[in-house]
Amino acid sequence: MFGFAKTQMVAPEKALPGRDEPMPVPSRHEVLGTPLTPPYPDHAEIADFALGCFWGAERKFWQTDGVITTAAGYQGGHTPNPTYEEVCSGQTGHTEAVRVVYDPARVSYETLLKVFWESHDPTQGMRQGNDVGTQYRSAIFTHSEAQQAQAEASRAAYQQTLTAAGYPEITTELTKAPPFYFAEPYHQQYLSDTKNPNGYCGLGGTGLTCPVGVAPAE
């Protein structure tokens, strides 16, 4: 019964109240050495993704050329400035999310979408592998109409690939980016060589390649 409850989205009026104070986080990225929090460079753009446990997800993106900084956080729910324990309870509605700040002159949003799709199984609903709960659901939180259109086009293209391989429908949530709340300091760059190079990573992709450069449908 407890497991069932953790896979059901909590109603806003029943969500935990949270707090006004944001989580203090390190000033610099453990791997990239860049600022973890704003202000970011003027030319930078932001992308937000949720694809299961944020430890392995964040590493996927900081290893991508053209990414300026990354951060683990909570997004898509109702509770302001939640703690990890609150998110894991299923009573906040948040995902474990990754904020990706990138240089669009060096890496395209489409390439980041490719990393996203290929790094997890987006057909699993409220889970990712052995990790079960609403916080592990797949989601893309967009910051512009252009990102929304590209995300929708890539989802449609990848669905064709998945369907041909016998996978069910994609369950990825795709919506305008809600507030992003930074996770606790120990979660930031958790799988870096200086922290937990052999730490747990529950991500597992489908092994299928996601097409890039797909134009949005007319």
DSSP secondary structure string for all residues of 138-164: EEEEESSHHHHHHHHHHHHHHHHHHHH
CA 88/CA 68 separation, integer angstroms: 28
Full DSSP string of 77-105: SS-SS--HHHHHTT-S--EEEEEEEE-TT
Positive or negative, the CA dihedral 89, 93, 96, 99 is: negative
Task: Evaluate whether 93 touches 49 at the Cβ level (below 8 Å).
Answer: no
Burial 48-87 (b: 16+ CB within 10 A, else e): bbbbbbbbbbbbbbbebeebbbbbbbbbbbbbbebbbebb
**Annotation marks residue 201 as catalytic:** no
Nearest CA among 101, 82, 90, 34 for reference residue 181: 82
Report the alpha-carbon distance of residue 29 to residue 9 in Å, rounded. 32
Write out the catalytic residue numbers.
53
